[in-house]
Structure 1
């Protein structure tokens, strides 16, 4: 049997074969102090920019909460921006990720509102601007027990944050969740001799907190999650035995909900929570007997009541 082993050129020759060329003559400075700094160019650049920065930045984040596991690490997705006055050409993009690394090294890259507010204020100082804003979305896991067996498993929701710092106005802090629930159709229950169709619903809640809110005493994640789950036809469970399934399906039948019902019930809870200034609630049902989804939403600003 004859050998067909290839006689390949060396790696450098292979690179040349596929287009690599020798480095050209280097004439520009290599020291930072001698390099051109286009971002800091001053001129009349026509317009003030509301927000410039970086987005879709993935980074580990520490989450603390009242539910087990009380301390966890998850992967957050960041957007970080600041404004730019019209006589400045651009921002210093590297300073955004430098701020992330600085907080990560200090174990301060957490979802605590106090840490996110400090992060945003220090980012403004690092950028030498009058404001800065961060947005963060991160999966959060929590234990959920079966209603009868009490067997535990991990559920998850998405946490959303939007923290803005302004030298004159201070902090604006909005928190939110995206949670999955079960809804059972009231119309189906009403018109059918037996049974009723049900489906998964996705509830999105965003709440602007007042400046005096103290997370030391209130775990806002647990509060918003309870608003979504307690108003649903039934909760979602990672572990269900037959005894649990009976409880869940019967509870859903006893608590039918349209998407309209869901957003109104959650809004009522948010309205009664004094720490919330304004809120948005959205529900989307992944309909089980239709090709389309059903949606409903409410936006409410309590400050409008005083106008």
Structure 2
């Protein structure tokens, strides 16, 4: 038998709050309307330095994503950063205007498309009365992936980022990024072992400064995904039956890759994209027979190559 307990005598909720520290509002004499309140952000004086970036980050917000691969239209959740420059004589920016603009674009049904994001950055600079503005959005992009033998489909995803920097009188600067999980099989293990070879999950992260007009005929997300997955030992699949697993395992065995190999091969694909001006590639293997991970990276700027004599 459970022991009996005394029934609590609960006072009314306002009294409970008072007992736990709540107090009545303090009468004040400061203005209560916006027109009468002091505007510290717009105070003008010599504040020593101009600032490169002032704004907000890690704003979680829904955004539409158009895709060359099914599902063609999807809603994803983006982590968004918004910022502008700040003149030396200005004390601060009005940060509420950043989220106000975000809401205006949400109501218009905005999408993660480069022209829309360029328009957003330009308008942000105008609304904030600053020379520069930038936004960065990062979100999971989903795409259908069919198993190689049975054809059963499921959804894979990659982490995608778009950064747009706007400066008055200049064309927007655009950097696109993607992180894709892949399979890698160790060439050394295959070479020295009598049978089998160890493999591991790899992560390919690429970032590229681009000419947006050159991607007009192709979804850049598809191009970046192809660059990452086609140069690994094998792509990952959401659904694999036994015939599929056999095919994927054998494909990996036929295409062994060091992290060094992947970094160079992905770099070659990015180099061949006319829209890409400069890029970085980082490949990281979560080693299956070591306690450490293996990593390789490369950065290349095609504009420097063009400038060479």
Q: Which residue of 1 aligns with 2:98?
A: 96
> Residue 168 of structure 1: CA displacement?
2.2
Q: Which residue of 2 aligns with 1:167?
A: 168
Q: Which residue of 1 aligns with 2:81?
A: 79
Contact 1:171 1:211 in 2 (8 A): no
Contact 2:114 2:212 in 1 (8 A): no
Contact 2:140 2:158 in 1 (8 A): yes
Q: Which moved more, 1:2-11 or 1:27-36?
A: 2-11
> Residue 4 of structure 1: CA displacement?
2.9
How do 1:123-142 residues align onto structure 2 when only pairs under 5 Å count? 123-142=124-143
* Partners of 1:242 and 1:3 in 2: CA distance: 59
Q: How many residues align?
A: 305
CA RMSD of aligned residues (A): 1.2
Structure 1 segments of 4+ aligned residues over 6 angstroms from their partners: none
How do 1:265-284 residues align onto structure 2 when only pairs under 5 Å count? 265-284=265-284
> Residue 31 of structure 1: CA displacement?
1.2
Contact 2:214 2:274 in 1 (8 A): no
Q: Which residue of 1 aligns with 2:236?
A: 236
Cα deviation 1:75-109 (Å, max 9, x = unaligned): 0000111111111111111111111100001112x
Which secondary structure does the structure 2 equivalent of 1:213 belong to? helix
Q: Which moved more, 1:287-296 or 1:202-211?
A: 202-211
Which secondary structure does the structure 1 equivalent of 2:61 belong to? strand
Contact 2:78 2:139 in 1 (8 A): yes
Gaps of 5+ in 2: none
Cα deviation 1:138-186 (Å, max 9, x = unaligned): 0011100000011001001011111011112220111111100000001
Q: Which residue of 1 aligns with 2:55?
A: 53
Which secondary structure does the structure 1 equivalent of 2:11 belong to? coil
- In structure 2, relative to structure 1, the CA distance for the partners of 1:294 and 1:301 (3 Å cut) is same
Cα deviation 1:175-202 (Å, max 9, x = unaligned): 1111000000011111111110000100
Gaps of 5+ in 1: none
Contact 1:281 1:297 in 2 (8 A): yes
Q: Which residue of 1 aligns with 2:195?
A: 194
Contact 1:209 1:277 in 2 (8 A): yes
* Partners of 1:25 and 1:241 in 2: CA distance: 70
Q: TM-score, normalised by structure 2?
A: 0.96
Q: Which residue of 2 aligns with 1:183?
A: 184
Q: Which moved more, 1:68-77 or 1:118-127?
A: 118-127
The answer to whether 1:39 aligns with 2:41 is: yes
Q: Which residue of 2 aligns with 1:154?
A: 155
